[in-house]
């Protein structure tokens, strides 16, 4: 079992590494200090089990687990946390086990055995993640087998094209498989709908322009582009912008 330890506390990572290191058949991989780094490491392949803390800065463990379940070969996940308040959410997030810190050696060994059974198809297969109670901090884009995490705060606008959504962000653009409607529901506080196929980040609105043909367009702050506003969305958009 290739084991990835994810914790923002160096001492916690070191202690877990010592405990895992003495277990036969377990290989400790270079650790990660946050959820984003963990998802990127797992996307590169070669990870069988993730020992995942929950309370971490940036992307927390619950969100990281959600991204992990979308990988072609998702690793087993065991949460290791100092708090028991997240137990239900952890199992809803397809966790194999939930260990409270300080982690006991025998409980860790049992959790790794569960994970090994799961990886060989002889254990209980976790359920898929439910709709999260809070919005994600990143969107996951996949291209030719690779994975890219896009911070939601860097997104300028989202545009539906056929069965994908194009995410236009500070470093370019990527495709995600989320529907525009689902993104609007999840991130309604951050984005405003300007058209049936487009959501724009509230902070990106620079100006509303009315053209000679009667159409209305939005000029964005950080993109040299104008996006058309549908007549259906215009009244609600004007109302929303008046409160920004």
Residue-level pLDDT at 229: 97
Residue-level pLDDT at 88: 61
What pTM was estimated for this model as a whole? 0.77
Q: What is the pLDDT of residues 203-212, one digit of tens each?
A: 999 999 999 9
Residue 198 pLDDT > 90, yes or no? yes
**Taking a C-beta distance cutoff of 8 angstroms, is the pair 236, 227 a contact?**
no
Separation of alpha carbons 39 and 95, rounded Å: 15
Residue-level pLDDT at 118: 83
Q: What is the pLDDT of residues 75-119, one digit of tens each?
A: 999 999 887 776 666 566 668 888 999 999 999 999 999 898 887
What the chain holds in terms of domains, given with CATH numbers, is: 2-119 (3.40.50.2300), 138-241 (2.40.50.1020)
Separation of alpha carbons 178 and 166, rounded Å: 10
Q: What is the mean pLDDT of residues 30-37?
A: 97
DSSP the chain: -EEEEE-S-HHHHHHHHHHHHTSTT-EEPPPBSSHHHHHHHHHTS---EEEE-SS-SSS-HHHHHHHHTTSSSPPEEEEEES-STTHHHHHHTT-SEEEESSPPHHHHHHHHHHHHHHHTT-SPPPPPP---SS--SEEEEEETTEEEEEEGGGEEEEEEETTEEEEEETTEEEEE-S-HHHHHHHTTTTEEEEETTEEEEGGGEEEEEE-TTS-EEEEESSSS-EEEEPTTTHHHHHHHHTT-
Residue 12: which of 53, 43, 71 has the closest Cα? 53
Q: What is the pLDDT of residues 57-79, one digit of tens each?
A: 999 999 999 899 889 889 999 99
**Taking a C-beta distance cutoff of 8 angstroms, is the pair 210, 216 a contact?**
yes
Q: What is the pLDDT of residues 116-172, one digit of tens each?
A: 888 777 555 444 444 445 679 999 998 776 788 999 999 999 999 988 999 999 999
């Amino acid at each position: 079992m290739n084991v990835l330890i994810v914790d923002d506390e160096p001492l916690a990572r070191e202690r877990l590494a010592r405990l895992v290191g003495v277990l036969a058949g377990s290989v400790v991989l270079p650790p990660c200090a946050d959820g984003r780094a963990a998802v990127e490491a797992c996307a590169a392949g070669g990870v069988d089990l993730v020992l995942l803390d929950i309370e971490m800065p940036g992307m927390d463990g619950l969100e990281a687990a959600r991204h992990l379940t979308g990988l072609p070969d998702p690793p087993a996940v065991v949460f290791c946390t100092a708090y028991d308040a997240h137990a239900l959410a952890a199992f809803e997030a397809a966790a194999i086990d939930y260990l409270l810190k300080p982690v006991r050696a025998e409980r860790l060994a049992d959790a790794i055995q569960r994970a090994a059974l799961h990886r060989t198809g002889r254990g209980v297969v976790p359920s898929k993640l439910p709709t999260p109670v809070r919005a994600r901090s990143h969107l996951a884009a996949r291209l030719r087998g690779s994975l890219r995490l896009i911070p939601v705060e860097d997104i300028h606008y989202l545009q539906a094209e056929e069965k994908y959504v194009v995410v236009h962000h500070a470093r370019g653009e990527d495709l995600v498989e989320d529907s525009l409607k689902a993104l609007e529901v999840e991130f309604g506080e951050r984005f405003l709908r300007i058209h049936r196929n487009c959501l724009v980040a509230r902070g990106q609105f620079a100006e509303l322009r009315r053209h000679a043909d009667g159409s209305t367009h939005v000029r964005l702050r950080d993109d040299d582009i104008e996006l058309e506003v549908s007549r259906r969305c215009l009244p609600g958009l004007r109302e929303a912008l008046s409160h920004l």
